[in-house]
Amino acid sequence: MTSRSVHVWGAALLLAATAGCTRKALQKLDGGVGTIPGSDGGLDVGGGDGDGVTDVRSVVDTSLDVGFAGRRSYVVTSQVSVDGAVVTSHSFTVTIDTRKRIGFIGTGGSADAVTLEQTASGALRFGRVLSFGVPVSAACGGSVAFDDVSVTIDASGVLSGGGTGRLITYPADVAMTVAATIDLTSVPDLEAPTLSLSASSDLADPWASLWIVASEPLPGDQMAPVLQAGSGEVVTFDGVPTGADTTFAVLEKPRRLLRYHETYQITFDTLTDFAGNPARWSNDRAFFTTRDAPPLVAADGFESTMDETVGGAQILSGAGAPTITGARSLYIPPAASLGAAGFATQLAMRLPIPAGARMLRFAYRIVDPGPDSGTFYVIGSVGGTLVNVSLSSNAEGVTYATIGQDRVGLAPMITAAIALPPDVHDDIVFVRIASQAGSCAGPPPPPVPGIILDDMRAE
């Protein structure tokens, strides 16, 4: 039995990527059943070697013997039974590549290339255990593992099969596993793949991570989609590998800070699945507008700031306020809950960058310190590299103070020194993003600690 926790998705599974790779043209379908023919050479005949002897080399044809050559794609439905009763079903796509003996297998947001083994009877077996998430009534979800599953392709080109596996459910954080029988049926893949856009935070945040998620595996030898700004700037998504045996289902925007108050549109040129079906967006459009620039704050420890808030955080001041230096500090209160989304941008401001500056320095105190695995800070300049930074916390020697009506615990002051990205210019954005992660059926996640910031400067 194993334990399992559900976490906020803060990152995507990405395959090795080469931006801007050359797209390889897909060949025509043969008979409309999702086949992309390949080139199968059974004999390699060498030329003369100059001494009157012809070199003839027999090449063993290792292609799969399934009644067709090249590739053929299917939408597979899997029924999972326990003790003779169907308990759940799910679907996935599989593309059989006969020449390379590979199956490209996946679902929305996942893609894999699995070696295929052919038995003496002609059946195909997957080279390793496959696992899929499945809909179940358990509170924390479930999955099915294909332990001993094989498929055959009949004379008409239809894929079917089955075998044995395991159904793993999570009624709580502890897994329950039972033996299962798996039955597979299929239809030719004639469905257009859909693309959707996912973000680590609000889509309008220029510092948000962005992912394009495909509903099925796509060939990796295609041009990646691009993010085009109204001003003409073009950013190419990463995540498209090169080579004939590669596939992807997720693409990521490079970690660069987008422009403020700019409209961006995602475009792509003839992106298809393995069956040649052209991809489309899950909705009618794929564009968004980023937010206005956050406030620019002078490097004077917030002393010249007369507003009550800056970039979403509070200005801490007044008699008895636990400021770090001078009369004012910046304060982000602890948060018991971040709501259903489980994450929030709590602070966004800009700081001027003097010429030649290489370090960002500031003093801080954690407020109500405790478990905090999800809070981090993002820094970078427009068009430049974004870096994520976590701050250490010292929970020893906590003292207590009152801020507003709340009595809080204050950790000792710490001085931070963070290396700036090499391509910073003019000013940087400084963002605090908080997230909460907890077990799906356990107690609520712990509160997010607060922080007091002061003496922020680049030098």
DSSP string, 115-152: EEEE-TTS-EEESS-EEEEE--SSTT-EEEEEEEEEEE
Domain limit, last residue, from 292, 326, 345? 292
Q: What is the DSSP letter of 382?
A: B
Nearest to 351 by CA among 258, 262, 292, 425: 425
- The answer to whether 248 touches 240, Cβ cutoff 8 Å, is yes
* Residue 139 confidence class, pLDDT cut points 50, 70, 90: confident
Q: Answer yes or no: is 432 within a domain.
A: yes
Task: Evaluate whether residue 47 is within a structural domain.
Answer: no
Q: Report CA-CA distances (Å) from 349 to 294, 302, 346, 364, 434.
A: 5, 12, 10, 16, 15
Residues 254 and 340 in one domain: no
According to the model, what pLDDT value does residue 445 have?
83
Identify the bridge partners of residue 264 per DSSP, sorted by sequence position.
Answer: 229, 288
User: In which band, very low, low, confident or very high, does the pLDDT at 344 lie, cut at 50, 70 and 90?
Assistant: confident
Q: Are residues 187 and 324 in the same domain?
A: no
pLDDT category of residue 246 using cuts at 50, 70 and 90: confident
Instruction: Give yes or no: residues 279 and 336 share one domain.
Output: no
Domain containing 246 equals: 1-39+63-292
| Overall average pLDDT of the 224-239 stretch | 89
pLDDT for the residue 245: 58
347 exposure class (CB count in 10 Å sphere: 0-12, 13-18, 19+): buried
Domain assignment present for residue 261? The answer is yes
> Do 348 and 390 belong to one domain?
yes
Residue 146 pairs with which residues in a beta bridge?
Answer: 130, 165
- For residue 31, what pLDDT is reported? 27
pLDDT of residue 351: 97
pLDDT at position 9: 29
CB of 180 within 8 A of CB of 169?
A: no
On the question of pLDDT at 50 being above 60, the answer is no
Q: What is the DSSP string of 303-317?
A: TT--SSEETTEEEE-
Q: What is the mean pLDDT of residues 275-281?
A: 95
Residue 440 — left, alpha, or beta (φ > 0 → left; ψ -120 to 50 → alpha)?
Answer: alpha
In a domain, 299, yes or no: no
Residue 61's pLDDT band, with cuts at 50, 70 and 90, is low
Q: For the segment 144-197, what is each residue's pLDDT rounded down to a tens digit? A: 999 999 999 999 999 999 999 999 999 887 899 999 999 999 999 999 999 999
- Are residues 234 and 316 located together in one domain of the fold? no
- pLDDT value at position 440? 79
Residues 176 and 267 in one domain: yes
> Which pLDDT tens digit goes with each residue over 203-213?
899 999 999 99
CB atoms closer than 10 angstroms to residue 432: 22
Provide the 10 A C-beta neighbour count for residue 84.
Answer: 6
The count of structural domains within the chain is 2
pLDDT at 355: 93
Checking if the pLDDT of 364 tops 80, the result is: yes
Per-residue pLDDT tens digits for 419-443:
999 999 999 999 999 988 767 777 8
Tell whether 338 and 222 lie within a shared domain: no
Percent of the chain surpassing pLDDT 90: 68
Average pLDDT, the chain: 84
Specify the pLDDT at position 285: 66
Amino acid at 282: S
In whole angstroms, give the CA distance from residue 140 to residue 188.
33
Q: Which of 266, 292, 318 is the last residue of a domain?
A: 292
Of 228, 263, 292, the last residue of a domain is 292
Each residue of 284-335: pLDDT tens digit? 568 899 999 999 999 999 999 989 999 999 999 999 999 999 999 999 999 9
Structural domain contains residue 85: yes
Domain contains 58: no
CATH code, domain carrying 454 = 2.60.120
Burial 223-262 (b: 16+ CB within 10 A, else e): bbbbbbeeeeeebbbbbbbeeeebbbbbbbbebbbbbbeb
Whether 271 and 144 share a structural domain: yes
- Statement to judge: residues 348 and 405 lie in one domain: yes
- Residue 423 CB partners (closer than 8 Å, separation 6+): 381, 383, 384, 385
With contact defined as beta carbons under 8 Å apart, do 337 and 444 qualify? yes
Among the ranges given (95-109, 296-310, 387-401), the one the predictor scored with the smallest mean pLDDT: 387-401
